[in-house]
Amino acid sequence: MPINDFFRIHSGCCRAACEASKYIFLACPLWLLGCDGPQSALEPAGRAAERIANLFWWMTAGGVFFWIAVIALAIWAVRTPPEAHNQRRASLLIIGAGAVVPTIVVAVLAIYGLAPIPVLLAPAPEGSLRITVSGEQWWWRVRYQLPGSDPVVLANEIRLPVGEPVEFRLESPDVNHSFWIPSLGGKIDMIPGRVTRLSLTPTKTGVFRGACAEYCGTSHALMSFYVVVEDKETFERWLAHQQTPAPPPSTPIAAHGQELFLANGCGACHTIRGTGANGLVGPDLTHVGSRLSLGAGILPNDLQSFVKWIASTEHAKPGALMPEFGMLPQEELQALAAYLKRLH
């Protein structure tokens, strides 16, 4: 096809592309406004997340380069009369800008994108803190594996020392899940029958949010958790406290709540160390009152949320395996909530 006919046929498409790109360019700042907060991969607080964020920005720069180049060529093609195009120069432009330059740029970006993979998948150094996380439906069982002592077990919350590498050993007893703390690093699948590993090194203190990144059932969207990164001394004090049994009830209403907890069979599913509750099906509640949230990140940790969770679990998290206890009188629900909230 003669080059003049080529430009004449495609001039209408070029005008449409130029008009559409104008609105895309104006919308870009609005998209970036949503890329912050405690669950943002573009606000890195870990070494792996920093590499991933850098990769994103370089890939974005490559995409913007191509976009500008295509729009510039489209504008040039639209504004230049077809008869003014030189056949030889236009052919060289199409070959160079349409094949040679994109091949070089894409090859460079591909090499840059693949280079961090060995680093991101490298195991944590020997002697690093090791945490086993099990993805359940729909919450997270967390076990700190401590040399020479029993594991420290909790649920839906992870605490880490800043600047220290940590190895997560990830598993699932039921369906595929995906473990992801965007601010600290990449995601990795949790596959039934297998143990996958992920090494992360937090570089900033703060509270960050993690989530399941693979659809796993009814309440997949309600399966999140919080990660608290703090200085090493604070972390070690917290970990030592987590090894202690639950404190005894300090008020009459909390004592009544403990009696109700054991009498209603809650101890068949939940463990509260220091009491007769030693169930392994549900989350460990020994220090549940000190956690940041309830129900795997969906409710604040306060008395009313405890009442809501106990009385109407299915409404709060559809498909949850915990039975509802809405048949209990309100005063008993309040006593249960008072007891659990004081488990610090």
pLDDT digits (tens, 9 = 90+) for 136-194: 999 999 999 999 889 999 999 999 999 999 999 999 999 999 999 999 999 999 999 99
With respect to residue 236, please indicate whether it lies within any of the assigned structural domains: yes
Q: What is the mean pLDDT of residues 312-318?
A: 95
Q: What are phi and psi of 196, to 5 degrees?
A: -105, 155
Span 11-42, pLDDT tens digits:
455 554 455 545 455 555 555 555 667 788 88
Structural domain harbouring 47: 3-120
201 and 285 inside one domain: no
What tokens were used for 136? 């359940």
Residue 194 Cα to chain centre, angstroms: 21
In this prediction the pTM is: 0.83
Which helix H or strand E contains 206, and what residues bound it? strand 206-212
86, 120, 154: which is the final residue of a domain? Answer: 120
With respect to residue 247, please indicate whether it lies within any of the assigned structural domains: no
120, 152, 175: which is the final residue of a domain? Answer: 120
- Report the alpha-carbon distance of residue 151 to residue 143 in Å, rounded: 6
96, 120, 144: which is the final residue of a domain? Answer: 120
With respect to residue 223, please indicate whether it lies within any of the assigned structural domains: yes
**What pLDDT is recorded for position 96?**
81
116 and 133 inside one domain: no
Q: Indicate the SS3 state at residue 27.
A: helix
Say yes or no to pLDDT of 1 above 80.
Answer: no
Mean per-residue pLDDT over the chain, rounded: 88
First-residue to last-residue Cα distance in the chain: 78
- Report the alpha-carbon distance of residue 91 to residue 158 in Å, rounded: 59
- For residue 196, which of 215, 177, 214 has the smallest C-alpha distance? 177
CATH number at residue 257: 2.60.40.420
Q: What is the mean pLDDT of residues 247-252?
A: 94
CA–CA distances in Å: residue 243 to residues 142, 150, 285: 13, 9, 13
Instruction: Kindly indicate the confidence band of residue 316, based on its pLDDT and cuts at 50, 70 and 90.
Output: very high
Measure the CA angle with vertex 313, ends 311 and 317; round to 5°: 155
- Report the alpha-carbon distance of residue 255 to residue 249 in Å, rounded: 5
**What residues have CB less than 8 Å from 326, skipping those under 6 apart?**
311, 312
Burial annotation 234-253 (CB, 10 A radius, 16+ → b, else e): ebeebeeebeeebeebeeeb
Domain tally, the chain = 3
- Report the alpha-carbon distance of residue 323 to residue 138 in Å, rounded: 14
Query: With contact defined as beta carbons under 8 Å apart, do 334 and 278 qualify?
Result: no
With respect to residue 141, please indicate whether it lies within any of the assigned structural domains: yes
